[in-house]
Amino acid sequence: MQQRWHRLPIVGRLLVATGIALLVAALVMVMITAREEASDIRSDLRHRLDQELETLPGTLAEAVVIGDFSTLQQMLDRYTTRPLVTEVQFRDIKGITLHSKNVLVTGSAPAWFLRLFGHDDVQGVASVTVGGREYGQLYLTLSPRPLADRAWAHLLKHMGILLLAIAINFIGTWMVLRLKPAGRPEVSEATEAFNEIAATVDANQSQLLQSEAQLRQHTLQLQPANATEAERKNVPTHLSGRILVVEDNPTNRKVVAAMLDRLGLQVMVAENGQQGLDAAMLDPGPDLILMDVQMPIMDGHTATRRIRAWESTEGRPRLPIIALTADAYEKDRKAAMAAGMDDFIAKPIDLNTLAHLLDRWLRTGKGSAVTPMQTATSAVSAEPTHVVFDEARMLDQIGGERTIARMMLQSAMQDMPPYLDRVEQAFQRADWKEVQHIVHSMKGLMFQIGALRIAEQFKAADKRLKAGERITIDQVHEWRGELAELIAALGNWLD
């Protein structure tokens, strides 16, 4: 072997060594990526287990308290038909045990793959407690098998790409060693060999990086919702799915619907939490919900809690619910988490930010689990407040889509005067809750259309009202003057 190696010309040795190095490096990269995906799967499965153990006892509580074990057994049997659930068991304080098991069909991933990457079942236990009294223990087992099968398919795909790249490299090596170019042999061979190396390495590296990016897109935890500059240059535009927009402000509702249509998504709309709850239960229903928080009739938190209760009772998969609000501080994040929401996006809504957020949730079904973020409204408040209408900011937030801009401004010009009429009427009734709700809605709308000066005024008033303070009728009259100036500026832009 050593003699054969030394008989090869220097160019041949370089090509063979390059091919072997590329093979080893690519194998290592593929294995590392597979391990990272397995780690994400374990983390997601554990998070899913915690969620199930938090909600399931409440679902079973009534049957457990009255001792209706026949109904309880039916509920357990129905529960094991849910994705990833393999076994559930209830044992009451007297030792009576009810058990239900779902035998999953053997998947495509071989046993050695499951062992090597740690795709094991996860188990947990929770107490069924009602009124401070413990009635028994609930044991739950989840299986990663469907997710592991997907990871195995990813690994096969990337190994195939790797083998193809290596084959191309060695074919190039063989051709360089067998063909004899004209002229000085060593110079010609060196020139052709290094050209071959450069082309092969570039092609292989591009394919492997692209494959790795596609794989990571299925496993990477969602970053904070505000898009980075790199993300803003690569906005997803070919998403698929049905999105339910629950928003009481007509202009905001139209703007979000237009953004979703721009991204290629189907849109359902609802004007309050009750309508949103009803729409979520439709068949077919939405794939994801964008839920405003402050709404009349039923707010977004209440609607979300009722959707979660319905999912638990009916054995439905968890529907991603993303909060929409003009308030995006830590206390708002905690309130969203407590209500059962999955993620958070601040108003004014930025098209790029929304696109990347939806891309992650619709493709992977997982996101950042409501991580703290620097909000869009906080960034806006740092701007000078003397600007009546900031065209550049308005267009930047909607991705420069002037069609959306015209629709948004025309709708806002129609909506703004009636909103102030409602403020005055609520003021006369001393209905400060309604005053605060309308001011809050106007704050988000003004930031969305780039009306920074009056947006800051509504923001300050909203803060005072939430603190229990009052505004004066003179303040409302000042807003009318501000709106008249704003409407004139918007009319000039539209003309």
Q: Which 3-state string (H, E, C) describes 147-177? A: HHHHHHHHHHHHHHHHHHHHHHHHHHHHHHH
Task: Tell which residue, 6, 16, 10, has the closest CA to residue 197.
Answer: 16
> In the chain, which residues fall in CATH 3.40.50.2300?
229-376
Q: Which CATH architecture has domain 229-376?
A: 3-Layer(aba) Sandwich (3.40)
Q: Where in the chain is the domain with CATH 1.20.120?
A: 391-494
Token output for 147: 């997710």
What pLDDT was estimated at residue 213? 45
DSSP code at position 141: E
CA-atom Rg of the chain in angstroms: 30
- Asked if residues 154 and 218 have their Cβ atoms less than 8 Å apart, the reply is yes
Question: Quick one: fold of 391-494?
Answer: Four Helix Bundle (Hemerythrin (Met), subunit A) (1.20.120)
Which residues are registered as beta bridge partners of 140?
88, 124
- pLDDT at residue 405 in the model: 92
pLDDT given at position 178: 58
d(CA 348, CA 445): 7
Strand 288-292 and strand 321-325: pairing? parallel
Length of the chain: 495
How far is the C-alpha of 419 from the C-alpha of 417, rounded, in Å? 5
Q: How far is CA 387 from CA 447, 453, 454, 485, in A?
A: 12, 5, 9, 11
Tokens representing 290?
Answer: 């964008």
Q: How many CB atoms lie within 10 A of CB 312?
A: 19
Q: In the prediction, which pLDDT does 230 show? A: 37
3-state class (DSSP) for residue 303: helix
Q: What pTM does this model have?
A: 0.51
Question: What pLDDT is recorded for position 370?
Answer: 38
Return the closest-CA partner of residue 357 out of 161, 188, 222, 219. Answer: 222
Q: Where do the H-state alpha helices sit in 67-125?
A: 69-79, 111-116
Strand order in the sheet with 122-130: 97-101, 85-92, 133-142, 122-130
Which residues on adjacent β-strands are paired with residue 87?
101, 141
- β-pairing verdict for 242-246 and 288-292: parallel
CA–CA distance, 390 with 403 (Å, rounded to integer):
17
> Do 162 and 215 form a contact (C-beta atoms < 8 A)?
no
Q: pLDDT value at position 133?
A: 83
CA nearest 379: which of 328, 319, 430, 330? 328
CA–CA distance, 277 with 166 (Å, rounded to integer): 54
Predicted local confidence at residue 117, as pLDDT:
83
pLDDT at 304: 95
Distance CA(134)–CA(150), nearest Å, equals 40
The 3-state DSSP class for residue 118 equals: coil
pLDDT of residue 227: 40
Q: What angle do CA 308, 221, 343 make, to 5 degrees?
A: 35
Amino acid 226: pLDDT = 38
Phi, psi of 266, rounded to the nearest 5 degrees: -80, 145
Q: Which residues lie closer than 8 Å to 87 by C-beta, 6 or more apart?
A: 80, 99, 100, 101, 102, 139, 140, 141
Question: pLDDT below 70 — which residues of the chain?
Answer: 1-15, 103-106, 173-238, 327-329, 364-386
Mention every residue, 6+ apart, whose C-beta is less than 8 A from residue 349: 252, 255, 256, 259, 324, 376, 397, 448
**In angstroms, rounded to a whole number, what is the distance separating the alpha carbons of residues 106 and 103?**
9
